[in-house]
């Protein structure tokens, strides 16, 4: 296994290209969207799992600083589990439909969505109640790096001995523009050398041992729900409400489909309402408390909010809206472009893939 990890890390570009080609070719497999054929979906799921594992190997390399699934070494890999579950959920759907029928497959989909809800709630709590990125597949550590940068900037400008030391260090390695800077630099080097000489050997050994044993940066404890709400107040409660609604929305949608059927408007409208209300709550928090440092979202979080709004386009591909409206528009576009030699053929194949993908809940769930 270690040899395979080293090979993947050395050839990550080649592996990524090969995975992209293989995953793209799976859309051209025969009987990809057949009701009784699970072979193509099994191939797709296996390739997805291999891709996820290879990505995890690359991102957990010792020199890798920013990762998608990497968490603390002693923690459970919740983000990796979500990605693996998403790779398997389409195969679960097809197998359940083949062996248990269309009506009973929704029970398996509800179980799958419930597991994802539990994993995402665990990630939400573990991250200190930060916004989930890509449904929890990406670790949200942007604010921590921003906080470290601000602390470093504050430390460099802080008056007193530490600020003087920083100023003195800034003179080293730079050309002395005046006599004062040259004198300060020389005084600083003399003080450091004198302190090193005057310190006994045993004291320097103890200090070195403490530097090795103690962590260089303190590990921040994950706040509890009560402490988070007491610190953030009303905006924190509203933010958590919107985030939990985003997490629960797919499960609510599947449970309602299981009860009322996929052709009913009630699950469709309820799911859309949950999305709109949850997004509206978070937008309200950002609007009313945009000057507060507690809810000044990072660039990754702003991009996540845009991504969630783009997912609303999937409502056009979900029944009953697809059957009533979208399918007619697609058929009209196909008839219009059919006489064009190459464009008509490509349009026909694209619409065939869209119609086939629409039959799979997991492709249109947005979860």
CB of 213 closer than 8 Å to CB of 253: no
CB of 133 closer than 8 Å to CB of 304: yes
The DSSP symbol for 290 reads T
CB of 92 closer than 8 Å to CB of 105: no
The pLDDT of residue 116: 96
* Burial class, 364, CB count within 10 angstroms (exposed 0-12 / middle 13-18 / buried 19+): middle
CB of 367 closer than 8 Å to CB of 113: yes
**Angle at which helices 39-59 and 78-100 pack, to 10 degrees?**
180
CB of 249 closer than 8 Å to CB of 274: yes
CB of 52 closer than 8 Å to CB of 84: yes
The pLDDT of residue 32: 56
The pLDDT of residue 322: 95
Long-range contacts of 196-201 (CB under 8 A, 24+ apart): none
Report the chain's C-alpha Rg in angstroms: 28
The pLDDT of residue 241: 95
Report the candidate in 25, 54, 47, 136 with the shortest Cα–Cα distance to residue 91: 47
The pLDDT of residue 157: 42
CB of 44 closer than 8 Å to CB of 102: no
DSSP 60-109: TSTT--S-SS---TTS--HHHHHHHHHHHHHHHHHHHHHHH-TTTHHHHH
pTM: 0.72
Distance CA 260, CA 364 (A): 18
The pLDDT of residue 242: 95
The pLDDT of residue 254: 96
pLDDT by 10s per residue, the chain, length 367: 777 777 667 777 766 777 677 666 666 666 555 555 677 777 777 888 888 887 777 777 775 444 555 555 447 888 889 999 998 998 899 899 888 988 899 999 999 999 999 999 999 999 889 999 999 888 887 644 444 444 444 444 444 444 434 433 444 444 444 444 555 455 555 455 544 444 454 444 445 445 445 444 445 577 788 888 888 888 889 999 999 999 999 999 999 999 999 999 999 999 999 999 999 999 888 887 766 666 678 899 999 999 999 999 999 999 999 999 999 999 999 999 988 889 988 998 899 888 888 988 998 998 8
The pLDDT of residue 167: 37
Tokens found for residue 129: 């109640």
DSSP 105-158: HHHHHHHHHHHHHHHHHHHHHHTTSPPPBGGGTB---HHHHHHHHHHHHHHHH-
Residue for token pair 């050395």? 10
Distinct helix (H) and strand (E) counts, the chain: 17, 0
Residue ranges in 199-264 assigned as alpha helix (H) = 201-213, 225-232, 234-260
């Amino acid at each position: 296994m270690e040899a395979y990890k080293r090979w993947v890390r050395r050839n990550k570009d080649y592996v990524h290209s090969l995975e992209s080609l293989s995953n793209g070719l799976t859309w051209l497999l025969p009987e990809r969207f057949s009701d009784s054929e699970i072979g193509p979906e099994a191939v797709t799921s296996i390739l997805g799992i291999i891709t996820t594992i290879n990505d995890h190997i690359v991102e957990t390399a010792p020199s890798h600083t920013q990762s998608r699934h990497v968490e603390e070494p002693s923690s459970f890999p919740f983000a990796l589990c979500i990605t693996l579950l998403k790779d398997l959920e389409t195969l679960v759907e097809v197998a359940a439909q083949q062996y248990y029928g269309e009506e009973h497959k929704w029970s398996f989909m509800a179980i799958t969505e419930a597991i994802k809800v539990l994993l995402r709630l665990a990630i939400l709590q573990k991250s200190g109640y930060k916004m989930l990125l890509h449904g929890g597949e990406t670790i949200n550590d942007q604010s921590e790096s921003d906080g470290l940068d601000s602390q470093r900037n504050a430390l460099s400008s802080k008056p007193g001995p530490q600020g003087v030391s920083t100023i003195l260090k800034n003179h080293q390695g730079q050309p002395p523009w005046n006599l004062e800077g040259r004198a300060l630099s020389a005084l600083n080097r003399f003080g450091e050398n004198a302190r090193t000489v005057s310190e006994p050997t045993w004291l320097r050994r103890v200090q070195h041992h403490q530097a090795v044993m103690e962590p260089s940066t303190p590990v921040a404890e994950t706040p509890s729900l009560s402490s988070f709400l007491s610190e953030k107040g009303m905006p924190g409660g509203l933010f958590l409400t919107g985030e939990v609604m985003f997490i629960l929305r797919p499960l609510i949608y599947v449970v309602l489909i299981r009860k009322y059927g996929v052709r009913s408007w009630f699950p469709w409208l309820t799911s859309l309402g949950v999305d709109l209300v949850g997004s509206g709550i978070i937008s309200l928090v950002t609007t009313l408390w945009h000057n507060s440092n507690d809810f000044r979202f990072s660039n990754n979080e702003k991009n996540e909010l845009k991504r969630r709004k783009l997912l609303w386009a999937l409502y056009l591909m979900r029944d009953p809206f697809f059957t009533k409206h979208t399918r007619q528009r697609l058929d009209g576009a196909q008839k219009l472009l059919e006489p064009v030699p190459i464009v008509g053929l490509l349009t026909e194949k694209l619409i065939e893939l869209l119609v086939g993908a629409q039959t799979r809940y997991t492709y249109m769930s947005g979860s």
